[in-house]
Chains A and B, each alone.
Chain A
Amino acid sequence: GAVVSQHPSWVICKSGTSVKIECRSLDFQATTMFWYRQFPKQSLMLMATSNEGSKATYEQGVEKDKFLINHASLTLSTLTVTSAHPEDSSFYICSADLQGDGQPQHFGDGTRLSIL
């Protein structure tokens, strides 16, 4: 069964809306979670590394104020896309470090975000 649950799986909203995506680790604690973005027929691009109890580490070119990440517990990380615009439409995927050794092996099923 799935070890990482991501919600919602699909969201459509109007431009200017803020959207929150949840990533939960099931039956294990995840000190580190990762957020990726994937465009159609392209590879996964790491956006940020989410660490429980501390600030997320963002990759170069990713706007911290645009993509807010919160990792308040060992089983939940959230990504909030603030004031979303059509160019933010994408497939967002999280992963969690199952073994606690820095090697994330389990991904959520992704969230398809469509901004009208």
Chain B
Amino acid sequence: GENVEQHPSTLSVQEGDSAVIKCTYSDSASNYFPWYKQELGKGPQLIIDIRSNVGEKKDQRIAVTLNKTAKHFSLHITETQPEDSAVYFCAASRGDSGNQFYFGTGTSLTVIP
């Protein structure tokens, strides 16, 4: 089955700096890679996703890159703000109907004002 690893587990950055979270996956059939932000006591919220036919996707301060050959993908947050503080999860799936997500172990991001 799929195995998704995520690093780092915790990350502290100064406000305005960039934050990078990295994930690797094992199943070459995985073709859909979403990133979720989870605030305390809330469910995960989708912030960006990427499919295997794309190498990079950007949405304002958030970007995701995918390297299919190396089986890794990364989340980049630029100009971080205190409200970016949360736990971030990466996930991988094959994208077929009913297929499950395999989640990374999460990264607790703290943005220091």
Which A residues contact B (CB, under 8 angstroms)? 4, 6, 31-32, 34, 41-44, 46, 49, 51, 57, 93, 95, 97, 100-110, 112
Cβ contact within 8 Å between A110 and B43 = yes
Which B residues contact A (CB, under 8 angstroms)? 32, 34, 36, 41-46, 49, 89, 93, 95-101, 103-106, 108
In this complex, the member of B41, B49, B99, B100 whose beta carbon has the largest number of chain A beta carbons within 10 angstroms is B100
Cβ contact within 8 Å between A46 and B101 = yes
| Secondary structure call for the B interface | loop
| Contacts A4-B43, A110-B42 supplied; 10 other A-B pairs, CB < 8 Å | A31-B97, A43-B89, A43-B103, A43-B105, A43-B106, A49-B98, A49-B100, A51-B98, A103-B32, A105-B46
Cβ contact within 8 Å between A109 and B42 = yes
Cβ contact within 8 Å between A34 and B42 = no
Residue of A nearest to B32 (CB): A103
Q: Across the interface, which residues of A come within 8 angstroms of B49, CB to CB?
A: 103, 105
Given A43-B106, A44-B89, A44-B103, also A101-B43 (CB < 8 A):
no
Cβ contact within 8 Å between A32 and B101 = no
Given A43-B104, A43-B106, A107-B36, also A102-B45 (CB < 8 A):
no
Given A43-B89, A43-B105, also A102-B44 (CB < 8 A):
no
